[in-house]
Amino acid sequence: MIDKQFKNLEEQIEILKYKGMTIVDEDYTKKILLRENYFFISGYRYPFMRSDIDKHFLEGVTFEEMYSLFLFDRAIRNVFFKYLLVIENNLKSIFSYQLSKKYGYKEKYYLRAKNFTNDKGKQKQVNDLIKKMKRQIRINGAQHTATAHYMSNYGYVPLWILVKVLSFGIVGELFSIMKYADQVNICKIYNIPLDEFSNYLPILSNYRNLCAHEDILYENRTQKKIKGTRFHELLGLEKDENGDYKNGTNDLFALLIIMKRMLSYDEFKDMCLELEKRIDNLDYNLHSIKIDKIIDRMGFPSNYMDLADVETIIERRDLNNENRKN
């Protein structure tokens, strides 16, 4: 394997020119390459290439155009992250309330192994997670303001305080070891079946970490897939020859569907409007390709905004059905 040798800014620009990219302003290009790293190009070049295996750009592609996709991805990543944090906070609040109400508010009560699943195959996971949570109490007991306050003044840390210092991943693990009845009660709050809810949590955690670490978001695909929902049906999403939905299963639109089911109506509406604004801005800055190419790589259907107000679609459908009966 040939080593990837260091290239200075001038050499990096010459490589881009050789591959067919138009450099309008070399000083600006150098500034961006220095700030963002030449490596960012590898993650955002494909929509602008002749093909996925061709290393040359389409005719007329400018550096500014590709950089606008980079900025777009950063912008929507911030939007998704903002509302993923809302979901994370909601989950932590609901989990801690349900468990504290049933098992007590002191860790010596709520962290008893008997409070969790009695599935023999999960006992190691139960014990390991209890150890993780106790370790978080020890580590954050003096460092985190809220935990330090409770430890110094009361000698214990309530679960509704402990969850604040738990990662989304640990919160997902916590749900996985809850007793079946506790899981069902939580799922009822969201009106989501248990099997789907259990599948959603690791997907949400994965995207939360992706956004926090500035990984490429817009064309990300997850290993886990979500089931088709009434939203897939109402939006008329296309199916393949096997009857599976082509979009909205393991792409960014699948995440949007999950968030539709877990955010309030107003929160989700605001989120979609923010995304639409970012998409419109990118559309304005694209010249060599159409915005449809990016939306398709996101897994978004052309009518993605209908998801924000799908309740209206349902009302219209029900009204039409009622009129037909009459």
Q: For residue 253, what pLDDT is reported?
A: 98
Residue 264 contacts by C-beta under 8 Å, 6 or more apart in sequence?
none
What is the number of alpha carbons within 13 Å of residue 187 lying toward its C-beta?
Answer: 19
Q: For residue 185, what pLDDT is reported?
A: 97
What is the number of alpha carbons within 13 Å of residue 109 lying toward its C-beta?
Answer: 13
Q: For residue 140, what pLDDT is reported?
A: 72
Helix, coil or strand: residue 240: coil
pTM value is 0.92
CA dist., res. 148 & res. 141, Å (int)? 5
- B/e letters for 306-324, b = 16+ CB within 10 Å, e = fewer, are bbbeeeeeeeeeeeeeeee
CA dist., res. 308 & res. 301, Å (int)? 13
- Reported as a single tens digit per residue, the pLDDT across 229-253 is 999 999 999 999 999 999 999 999 9
CA dist., res. 151 & res. 149, Å (int)? 6
Tell me which DSSP letter residue 226 carries: P
Phi, psi of 266 (to 5 degrees): -65, -40
Q: For residue 14, what pLDDT is reported?
A: 94
Token pair of 48 as six digits: 């602008």
CA torsion, points 233, 201, 273, 250, in degrees to nearest 10? -50
Tell me which DSSP letter residue 41 carries: H
Tell me which residues of the chain have a pLDDT lower than 50.
Answer: none
Q: For residue 42, what pLDDT is reported?
A: 81
